[in-house]
């Protein structure tokens, strides 16, 4: 039975977005420099799906109080037919001395400074789509505890981005003892809901330190107070991070806040099979999206684009438009 007070606390949604065709923004970005290995054009490229992001939120998540669209002096070129949407500029919450910023890690780690953001919120990327109706309980319990996937992993450095979660791990291992965490919260890290992914945690057992986490790369419920507490605890870390106008290998990510919360045991296990990622490089890859949409368990889908040639990019963009029209 659902608690009669289940709707007593508000839940917001947050999504970051940039219009990479905006000439003013492009010129501003050009005036600064960044590591192209961490800041390629695909990080800002628009596959033409953002309008569907809003339509799917409106269709499948009526419980959100507000939907914060975080931008850099930009607005989408389409009409958003949802009164809950609030456009927030970086200047509204990031200290002026750190602007402009082109670093998603800076923006996400600064969400604790967003005044009107509720304590409970769900953080999205603009490529994370709610493809089926979800209840509040998908992200938070009736007592306001986030749902999450507490699976350990062995981090494998296969790309430059991998150094960022390593930065998180160095800090986490200074403050948490893995064995103590498991003694307190064993059945949150080994849980029937995780299925075969429990094997990932079991493989890490011989290692005394925290070797990594399964990063599900799906929309995630957060507590705003956790961002505030983290900045209060590590003010120099946040100040230094905000000086990085582009992503660098010395960054920390919002995963640090999530993983700290996991290690404190402040979560309820969620089935990993409710979310999936499809990487598209050519038009044929969109067939995988169609296949995943038929999965009854799947609630959220991430469409990741990498190394797409311009001719394939246009074909993929058109095919995605057809797919999303059928979804809404």
* 268 domain-assigned: yes
- Mean pLDDT lowest for which of 19-28, 206-215, 257-266, 296-305? 19-28
Residues 6 or more apart whose CB falls under 8 angstroms from that of 218 comprise: 128, 274, 275, 277, 300, 302
Question: Is there a cis peptide before residue 293, judged by omega within 30 degrees of 0?
Answer: no
Please indicate, yes or no, if residue 1 is contained in any of the structural domains: no
Task: Note the pTM of the prediction, 2 decimals.
Answer: 0.93
Asked, for residue 226, whether it belongs to a domain, the answer is yes
How many domains in the chain? 1
Asked whether the predicted pLDDT for residue 40 surpasses 80, the reply is no
The set of residues, in sequence order, having a beta carbon less than 8 Å from that of 181 and lying 6+ positions away, is 189, 263, 265
- Give the residue from 221, 223, 228 showing the smallest Cα distance to 112: 228
How far does Cα 205 stand from its chain's mean position?
A: 27
166 in any annotated domain: yes
The β-bridge partners of 69 are: 15, 87
Note down the domain range covering 70.
6-327
C-alpha to C-alpha distance for 29 and 82, rounded to whole angstroms: 30
* pLDDT (tens digit per residue) in 190-243: 999 999 999 999 999 999 999 999 999 999 999 999 999 999 999 999 999 999
Q: For residue 154, what pLDDT is reported?
A: 95
* The pLDDT of residue 47: 79
In a domain, 257, yes or no: yes
Residue 107, domain CATH: 3.90.550
Kindly report, residue by residue over 271-312, the tens digit of the pLDDT: 999 999 999 988 999 999 999 999 999 999 999 887 777 778
Please give the pLDDT value at position 162.
79
Residues 6+ apart with CB under 8 A from 183: none
> Is 224 inside any structural domain?
yes
């Amino acid at each position: 039975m659902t608690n009669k007070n289940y709707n007593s606390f508000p839940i917001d949604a947050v999504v970051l977005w940039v219009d990479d065709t905006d000439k003013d923004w492009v010129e501003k970005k050009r005036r600064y420099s960044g590591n192209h290995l961490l800041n390629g054009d695909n990080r800002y490229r628009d596959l033409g799906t953002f309008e569907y992001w809003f339509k799917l939120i409106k269709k499948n998540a009526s419980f959100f109080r507000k939907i914060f669209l975080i931008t850099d002096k930009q607005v989408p070129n389409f009409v958003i037919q949802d009164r809950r949407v609030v456009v927030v500029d970086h200047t509204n919450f990031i200290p002026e001395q750190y602007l402009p910023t082109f670093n998603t890690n800076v923006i996400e780690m600064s969400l604790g400074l967003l005044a009107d953001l509720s304590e409970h919120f769900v953080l999205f990327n603009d490529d994370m789509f709610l493809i089926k109706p979800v209840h509040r309980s998908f992200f938070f319990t009736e007592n306001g505890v986030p749902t999450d996937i507490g699976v350990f992993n062995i981090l494998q450095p296969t790309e430059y981005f991998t150094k960022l979660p390593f930065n998180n791990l160095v800090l986490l291992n200074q403050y948490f003892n893995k064995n103590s965490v498991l003694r307190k919260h064993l059945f949150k890290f080994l849980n029937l809901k995780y299925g075969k992914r429990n094997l990932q945690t079991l493989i890490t057992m011989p290692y005394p330190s925290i070797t990594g986490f399964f990063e599900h790369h799906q929309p995630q419920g957060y507590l705003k107070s956790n961002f505030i507490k983290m900045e209060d605890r590590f003010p120099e870390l946040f100040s230094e991070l905000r000086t990085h106008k582009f992503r660098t290998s010395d960054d920390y990510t919002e995963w640090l806040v999530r993983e700290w919360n996991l290690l404190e045991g402040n979560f309820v296990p969620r089935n990993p099979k409710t979310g999936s990622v499809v990487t598209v490089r050519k038009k044929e890859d969109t067939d995988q999206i169609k296949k995943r949409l038929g999965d009854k368990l799947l609630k959220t889908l991430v469409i990741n684009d990498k190394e797409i040639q311009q001719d394939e990019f246009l074909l993929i963009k058109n095919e995605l438009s057809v797919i999303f029209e059928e979804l809404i």
